[in-house]
Amino acid sequence: ANVYDIVIDAGSTGSRVHVFQYERSRTGVVLLKERFKRIEPGLSSFATDPDGAKESLTGLLRFADEVVPESYQRCTSVILKATAGLRLLPESDQQVMLDAAQQALNASPFQSRGASIISGAQEGVYGWLTVNYLLDRLDTDVATIATIDMGGASTQVVFETTPTSGEWLPFNYAHQLRILKRTISVYQHSYLGLGMNEAKKKLMTLFAEANGTSSFPCFPRGYTKHLNDVKLRNNDATDFDACVGLFREHVITTSTCRFDACGARGVPQPLFPSRRHPVYAFSYFYDRLYHFHKEGRPVYVSLYKEVGKEVCHRESASRATTPEETACMELAYLYSFLTNGLGLGDDTALTVPNRIAGMSVSWSLGSSL
């Protein structure tokens, strides 16, 4: 028999509804297909407009209504889970948004399982489960995949650890996952504030306050941006290496390491196991790389530097969807996060997917399983 499940991912830059169709048999449940629809902006943009928030979700629920056959709707559950965009709002605003979302869910023909904000840890582990489930890595002894998921406001890093590599970790970084007949130990951390948009905002603000009239090397020559009362401008050539250095100094390595080993911001992290576990980087890693580069050739960390340098030198080229002033900066940040933040070498192989086995790569499937 068929079973449907609806998950709404309320992210920092937009909301997306996923409708999963499963087939239930005696041996278990098999994912048959997924349909999804995305809208912008994210729920956090409606902090002072709960009616607008409700209206934006109603459009997504209407899409789900068209996908799920009417005879299945009353027994199909719908849940909304918000991520870093809402985590960054004051608690009173968070509650207003969740109440508006709950009203939208209650008005739908589906069974509401509520609206809530999930932790960065849950988001990261769900994304890791999605990738490893789609690649059939959970019920065998084959190596699991390490995942790096960069959103607009946070970035999640999850990988399997060995008893020795993870034994020194503080408890909130180490998780035991009981999956089918296996117990898997994983390291996870969600870097709130190190998503693409928050990291850019932080760097531009810090640079403007500290350097006022100095040229900002991440912008195209002659480009000016007004930040509050400060003018940020680049009078010189765009400089990829200088931009990477600024991210390293002001955004990524802002704390000293007080543990055996660290990732970004002095956060405890075992050495990234890229030799044992294939590394999958997605969301902004996919969107920005393949906006400027054709898919097909193998990807190594160095490709972000190569493409970044090309883009930084090609200041006047037309860019259809990425605003011109942020293209160089975004590629510099992706490269800096991988190298300065996670300690990956230029020669580390990456897989940068948008879909796996026909399904979109997001944490929503992992939360539905």
Segment (H or E) for 81: strand 77-82
What's CA 3's distance to the chain center, in Å?
28
For residue 348, report the phi and psi dihedrals to the nearest 5 degrees: -70, 125
Distance separating alpha carbons of residues 87 and 352, to the nearest angstrom:
27
Distance separating alpha carbons of residues 278 and 5, to the nearest angstrom:
30
Bond preceding residue 41 cis, omega within 30 of 0: yes
CB 352 within 8 A of CB 282: yes
The tokens of 147 are what? 């995942």
Among 250, 271, 251, residue whose Cα is nearest residue 260: 271
Q: Which of 123, 198, 315, 330 is catalytic?
A: 123
Active site residue 123: yes
Return the exposure string of 314-348: e unless at least 16 CB atoms fall within 10 Å of the residue's CB, then b: bbeeeeeebebbbbbbbbbbbbbbbbbbbbbeeeb
CB 151 within 8 A of CB 284: yes
Query: Which amino acid belongs to residue 203?
Result: L
Query: Which residue matches tokens 């070498």?
Result: 345
Query: Which amino acid belongs to residue 302?
Result: S
Q: Per DSSP, what are the bridge partners of residue 2? A: 23
CB 338 within 8 A of CB 344: yes
Distance separating alpha carbons of residues 65 and 73, to the nearest angstrom:
8
Distance separating alpha carbons of residues 347 and 149, to the nearest angstrom:
20
**Binding-site residue set for ATP:** 152-156
CB-count exposure of residue 92 (10 Å: 0-12, 13-18, 19+): exposed
Point out the residues that are catalytic: 123
